[in-house]
Structure 1
Amino acid sequence: MPKDDSTPESSTLKPSPLHPTYSVTNIQTKIRTLDGTKVTFSSWVKLFRLHVVAYKVLNHVDGTPAPVSPAADVELWQELDALVLQWIYSTVADDLLTRILHTKTTTYATWSKLEKIFLRNKKARAATLETKFCNLTLTACSSVEDYCQRLTELSNQLADVDQPVSESRLVLQLVRGLPEE
């Protein structure tokens, strides 16, 4: 005898699909560690934003308010927020981690705190970086490669505080920092 499709035994509940965020196992393979020197804040933000868009959680870093109901939506939001917050904590240098690590916080609050750390006092930070850039010489470095790398890092950091260094200025500074011999 054929089964009647309307009976409770034959009706099956479709499992809800797993959110893509749960598939991330090692965020460090996708986003480099933000240290403010080798990986600048603007570079880290670009990588992080690509990741949160791809995994459908941009709303946790862009200030979108959390849902207030139904309870299932609130619970999912909190779980995803905790995961994205773990991504941030896993991709910042230890000295930054101690400055942003809090027990009762949200991803957006932590994201905003990082922005403040890197983007406040741009003028003072730019002045300090400019002095380091202008005064760096080959004799202060272990090799020519190290000298070039440090100049590039300072140039990137200056760009982060809205003081980009042109390629020609970078080359001039490179030559100026070489010893006479």
Structure 2
Amino acid sequence: MSDELLPRILEDKSTAREAWVRVENIFTNNKGARAAALEAEFHSLRLEGMPSLEAYCQRLRELAGMLKDVDATVSDRRLVIQLVRGLPNEYDTIASYINQTMPSFEIARSMLELELHRKSGRDEPATALAAPAAPSSTRNSDWETDPAE
């Protein structure tokens, strides 16, 4: 309990139950305002504003938990919809598939992680094996022999 709240909660000759009710009232009196602020953050969260896909998914989960605490429960379906809604355009193909199949949040998250892994593998420089360049020669072919040889 913070030092600022203690004087509001502890009173002379009050029971533990009375102190607990005062704590509960302090935190439930602003439940509507807190729910509205959390809803706004939940709806405006975008992957582009987060350091990683992992952080984005984690923040969505945290916000859903906080909304539940203020009696504004977020269903798994709504969580998936918001997950997709906050994705940038380069995820349009996988986002469309997730919207069509509507998997659980965890499966949708895994699908996005696989897509990110696929994209990062494609963006890495090619490491194909290349034959070393042959030394320059005036011969037409390595099979040709010099008649003087």
The one-letter amino acid of 2:87's match is L
Give the Å deviation of 1:149.
Answer: 1.3
Q: Mark the structure with the bigger radius of gyration.
A: 2
Quote the residue 2:68 is aligned against: 159
Give the Å deviation of 1:143.
Answer: 1.5
In structure 2, how many angstroms separate the alpha carbons of the residues matched to 1:99 and 1:112?
17
Equivalent residues, number:
86
**TM-score, normalised relative to structure 1:** 0.42
| Structure with more relative contact order (C-alpha pairs < 8 Å, separation 6 or more) | 1
The runs of 5 or more residues in structure 1 that have no matched partner are 1-88, 90-96
**TM-score, normalised relative to structure 2:** 0.50
The runs of 5 or more residues in structure 2 that have no matched partner are 91-149
Residue 136, structure 1, aligned to residue 30, structure 2: no
Percent identity of paired positions between Structure 1 and Structure 2:
50
Quote the residue 1:113 is aligned against: 22
Give the Å deviation of 1:125.
Answer: 1.7
Residue 99, structure 1, aligned to residue 4, structure 2: yes
Give the Å deviation of 1:109.
Answer: 4.0
Give the Å deviation of 1:100.
Answer: 2.3
Contact 1:100 1:110 in 2 (8 A): no
Give the Å deviation of 1:130.
Answer: 0.7
Kindly tell me: are residues 117 and 141 of structure 1, through their superposed partners in 2, closer, same or farther at Cα, counting changes over 3 Å?
Answer: farther
In structure 2, how many angstroms separate the alpha carbons of the residues matched to 1:140 and 1:110?
41
The one-letter amino acid of 1:118's match is F
RMSD (Å) for aligned C-alpha atoms:
2.0
In structure 2, how many angstroms separate the alpha carbons of the residues matched to 1:116 and 1:101?
14
